[in-house]
Amino acid sequence: MQANLAKHWSLLQQHAERLKSQPLRDLFAADAERFSQFSVHLDDLLMDFSKEKIDQAALTALLQLAQAAQVEARRDAMVQGEKINSTEQRAVLHMALRDGIPAGVQVDGQDVLKEVAAVRGRFLDFAEAVRTGAYKTVSGQAFTDVVNIGIGGSDLGPVMVTTALAPWHDGPAVHFVSNVDGAHSVDTLKGLNPQTTLVIVASKTFTTAETMLNFSTALAWLKASLGEQAGQHVAAVSTNLAATRSYGIEDTRVFGFWDWVGGRYSVWSAIGLPVAIAVGKQAFTEFLAGAKAMDEHFRSAPLAQNLPVLFALLGIWRRNLLQYPTVALIPYDQHLARFPAYVQQLDMESNGKRVQLDGSPIQTSTGPVIWGEPGTNAQHSFFQLIHQGSEVIPVDFLAAANPSSQSEFADLELHHETLLTNVLAQAQALAFGRDAEAVRVDLQAAGLSAVQIEALVTHRTFPGDRPSTLMLYRQLTPYTLGRLVALFEHKVFVQGVIWGVNSYDQWGVELGKKLANVLAPALHDRTVPAGVDASTAGLLQHIHALRA
């Protein structure tokens, strides 16, 4: 922990020890206004954290911690384009991609918003050309399918947003390839027609190993049908024009982005091209507008009413004071099925760090393990562990008051009311549980004998006192989705500031890449490199034998 924050951490530890022995049931019984005191909203987006193990004194101490960590000053430095990514000497300006920073901010002498507007205009115009058929196939047809090839942020963001905005799809069908496992490419391409398929390659340097191998497979597939004209069926999101030209991709179909945009924060940029093709310029612009609204709230709202700040502080409280190492992220919204995976990268790649900005070891736990699946499926999968397991697992719920889909054959209101009933019930059950006496009453009503009842009571008792936060919004629209994603982005930033880590580098992914390059010749030549460890040597030998 940073030394100058020690007194704040000490006070918070005292509050945590006090609250650990106070059940949520008692906290609610003691305060009839608990919901109003521990919920905050931005327009229709409500964050209810009244079911967290927290009270006003602890929340005040958390806000004081944020002030002492200079969250506001660090936020302002980020917004003004200062190079807060200190290990790479880069600014951090993903907010600029949705016009969420003030006009006039410059990085290395370049006006950021003007550059963003120019590239945005180009890739949105191209998306519309593909959608309308103005940009045609080599045979003069309209494209029916688009395959986006990328990995990490170049895949998770577009996949998540495209899935979330399925009700707005009115363009070509969009598909995604990310895994270097050839099955992903083959299974995606085999059902498509190369004569009407556009391939988008998303790699800033055009050297990402997995992406380039997957592209080589897709390009061979295109060439088998289109010959040397295959390049006309390819667009790229890259800054390496020399490389893209070598593949026959005209500069008009290449869209760049900047060093001040991390991959996991890039869906707002040209990386979002497949999203724009699927849903169109208007919906994509509304997606950006939602994020901008959250940016403006984050930049201007007092800490005590600031959704991202409060969300981040609740995470600090859970992770560092109550010692919960994991968070279940459960969207009760099928269109957000890929949201937990997206947030996994956003959070765990950003704050999965063990040293502070000055390189010294951090003295506390950092990023929690984020995981989850959509409700209600999750209830029939792992909620048993969350309700009655030996460890407490906090839950972040997301839910819309209204469905985003429309149908002529399904009673979507009934479906959605059932969905909402479940999310409310799960949050209630986690917080308040069911004690032994209530279980006995139920079993007596069922006609069981006293002996049978006592044999079952402990198995059917729910301890409760398991914290959760619920995000509730009117409907999942492009605008709402933009707000939600930006909310999680800013939460990660605030937590990184408090932990004193660099949330915007990711050196942890580099070592495995380097070792893979060393091992590649051994697999190709079926050899075992000299000096390799015994385990890897044994595994290589077994692989060679199995491939013989």
Q: What's the pLDDT tens digit per position in 279-328? A: 999 999 999 999 999 999 999 999 999 999 999 999 999 999 999 999 99
Decide if 307 contacts 1 (C-beta within 8 A): no
> Is residue 388 helix, strand or coil?
helix
Average pLDDT over residues 389-406: 96
Q: Which residue has the tokens 């209204």?
A: 402
- Angle, alpha carbons 123-128-132 (nearest 5°): 150
Sign of CA dihedral 417, 421, 424, 426: negative
Q: Three-state SS string across 46-87, please? A: EEECCCCCCCHHHHHHHHHHHHHCCHHHHHHHHHCCCCCECC
Q: Which residue has the tokens 């040397």?
A: 228
Q: Which residues are catalytic?
A: 349, 380, 513
Q: Please state the separation of Cα 383 from the chain's center in Å.
A: 21
> Is residue 258 helix, strand or coil?
coil
Q: What is the DSSP letter of 235?
A: E
Could you give the CA distance from residue 115 to residue 99 in angstroms, rounded to a whole number? 11
For the question of whether the overall pTM of this predicted structure is more than 0.85, the answer is yes
Q: Which residue has the tokens 């408090």?
A: 498
Could you give the CA distance from residue 87 to residue 335 in angstroms, rounded to a whole number? 37
pLDDT at 450: 95
Contacts of residue 375, defined as CB under 8 A and 6 or more positions apart, other chains included, come to: 330, 331, 332, 397, 419, 422, 423, 426
Sign of CA dihedral 246, 252, 258, 264: negative
Q: Which two structure tokens, joined as six digits, stand for 367?
A: 């990023």
CA dihedral 14, 20, 21, 25 (to 10 degrees): 130
CB-CB neighbours of 179 under 10 Å: 13
Nearest CA to 142 out of 222, 225, 233 is that of 233
CB-CB neighbours of 89 under 10 Å: 8
DSSP letters spanning 6-28 = HHHHHHHHHHHHHHHTS-HHHHH
CB-CB neighbours of 412 under 10 Å: 15
Q: What's the pLDDT tens digit per position in 207-220? A: 999 999 999 999 99
Q: Worst-scoring range by mean pLDDT, 66-80, 403-417, 443-457? A: 403-417
Rg (CA), the chain: 26
Residue 1 has pLDDT above 60, yes or no: no
Alpha-carbon distances of 483 from 77, 372, 471, 478, 479, rounded to whole Å: 22, 20, 11, 9, 6
> What is the distance between the terminal CA atoms of the chain, rounded to a whole angstrom?
53
Average pLDDT over residues 73-93: 97
Q: In terms of pLDDT, which residue wins out, 408 or 55?
A: 55
> In one letter, which amino acid is 425?
A
Average pLDDT over residues 374-388: 97
Average pLDDT over residues 496-518: 93
Tell me phi and psi for residue 28, to 5 degrees.
-70, -40
Q: Which residue has the tokens 């005292």?
A: 14
Q: What's the pLDDT tens digit per position in 225-254? A: 999 999 999 999 999 999 999 999 999 999
Alpha-carbon distances of 195 from 137, 141, 278, 497, rounded to whole Å: 7, 9, 19, 50
Q: What's the pLDDT tens digit per position in 346-369? A: 999 999 999 999 999 998 999 999
Average pLDDT over residues 12-30: 96
CB-CB neighbours of 332 under 10 Å: 23
- With 0-12 / 13-18 / 19 or more C-beta atoms within 10 angstroms meaning exposed / middle / buried, residue 350 is buried
* Band (509; pLDDT cuts 50, 70, 90): confident
Residue 2 has pLDDT above 80, yes or no: no
Is it true that the peptide bond before 162 is cis, omega within 30 degrees of 0? no
Decide if 462 contacts 388 (C-beta within 8 A): yes
Q: Please state the separation of Cα 384 from the chain's center in Å.
A: 25
Could you give the CA distance from residue 94 to residue 291 in angstroms, rounded to a whole number? 10
CA dihedral 149, 150, 154, 157 (to 10 degrees): 60
Could you give the CA distance from residue 468 to residue 53 in angstroms, rounded to a whole number? 9
